[in-house]
Amino acid sequence: MPLMVKDYTWTQTESTVYINVPLKGAKAGKVDILSTDEYLKVHFPPFLFEAFLSEPINDDKSSAKIGNGVAVITLPKRTSKLWEHLMIINNDKEKRKEIRERALLKYQEKTAVESKAKAAKKQEEKKYALEKMMKLEQEERDAIQKMKDDEREKSTAELEAWKLKQTQQAEEEAQLKLRHQRADQEKSKAVKKTHVDGCVGPRGGDGASREKKQVDLPAPRSAGNIQISFTPRVFPTALRESRVPEEEEWLKKQAEARRAVNADLEELKDLKEEERNPDWLKEKGDKCFATGNYLGAVNAYSLAIKLNRKIPALYSNRAACHLKLRNLHKAIEDSSQALDLLTPPVAANASARARAHVRRGSALCELQLYTEGLQDYQAALMIDPQNEGLQADAHRIRQIIQGSATDPDKE
């Protein structure tokens, strides 16, 4: 049976009643307040405060504030006048029970209406967000299609110009060849005439000319090999601290990733040359992210991933975009994929691993999976232990887990 609170205080003006209820050490989150136009209840186990009001109030405008161990309840009066008593003097238990039941029924109806209104508002917001996203995606598709059409028209014009130039060059070469043939024919006629006149011997002149041509030719070049030596790629860490096998494996994976371009995609046939380059698409995604165009950045990173699924930065950057768009499960999936590719762990990929851990930890905390999120933040701190921002975030998550801080989404 609850303990009834008797040490409350109340004051009034002609338009408002103020009631102060001591909470006796109870936390704000454990205080349940119910009010109607004729009834007020403040319940914080094991204590209970009930007020069967002597005059009706305007419940829609009533309010309650909790702080410093006191609940302050403000009740606007329906009629502007001073009350003689806060509660009804009648101690009839049946009447009190009837008022209590009637108040509970009104409260349930009010809660149901508010719940429906909240659900309808949430549905409208979701519908608006979906329509907005569809509109943005359509604009993005239209922009890409326009770029393709413009590029196709430009390529067609360049091809036509090239064909025209080739035709003109062919005509000029044909005319030049025809002039050379005519000149050779005139020269042949002159040589024949000279032979008939006996000025030049049939063999003497030709033999001398052939010998002269052979003498004028340069000697063939001698064959040989050129020796090339390459400078080995090394990490900027001391040999006693470096892990040579892991670093060599990481360099090998990076080289394979750059070569692992999927050239068999059907979509490539409509793309420009630079759009088939994952590095170019990554730079485009980075620019879109910097300008706040997160959907455009996701599209660029996704196309780059279709071309090359071995580059961890593409997954990590797309996870950052999903965080901005509140696609939390996709952010977790992309961050995990990036961490799988960032192996073996070496100094060259330390900062990238820390970023991927933080992004996955942020998404887990947004889903209220604070224990799992803290593990990712601790993994990032092991990589960068001097980062004050990471230390502060990890401390706040520990406070949320321990119950000494409130979740910002619930405030």
pLDDT digits (tens, 9 = 90+) for 10-60: 898 888 989 888 887 777 778 888 888 888 888 888 888 888 888 888 888
- The string of pLDDT tens digits covering residues 142-194 is 999 999 999 889 889 989 899 899 889 899 988 888 888 888 888 777 766 65
Whole-angstrom CA distances from 353 to 233, 277, 372, 381 are 22, 24, 17, 11
Domains and CATH numbers, the chain: 3-89 (2.60.40.790), 271-410 (1.25.40.10)
pLDDT band with cut points at 50, 70 and 90 for residue 404: low
Least confident range of 14-18, 60-64, 252-256? 252-256
Please state, as a whole number, how many other Cβ atoms lie within 10 Å of the Cβ of residue 344.
13
pLDDT, residue 410, reads: 46
Give the angle subtended at the CA of 398 by the CAs of 394 and 401, to the nearest 5°.
Answer: 140
Report the percentage of the chain scoring pLDDT > 90: 29
Structure tokens at 72: 């302050």
d(CA 376, CA 132): 33
Q: What is the mean pLDDT of residues 66-88?
A: 86
Q: 277-307, pLDDT tens digit by residue?
A: 888 999 999 999 999 999 999 999 999 998 8
Q: What pTM did the predictor assign?
A: 0.40
Long-range contacts of residues 267-273, Cβ cutoff 8 Å, at least 24 apart: 267/303, 267/306, 270/148, 272/151
On the question of pLDDT at 265 being above 70, the answer is: no
Please give the Cα distance from 162 to 344 (Å, whole number).
51
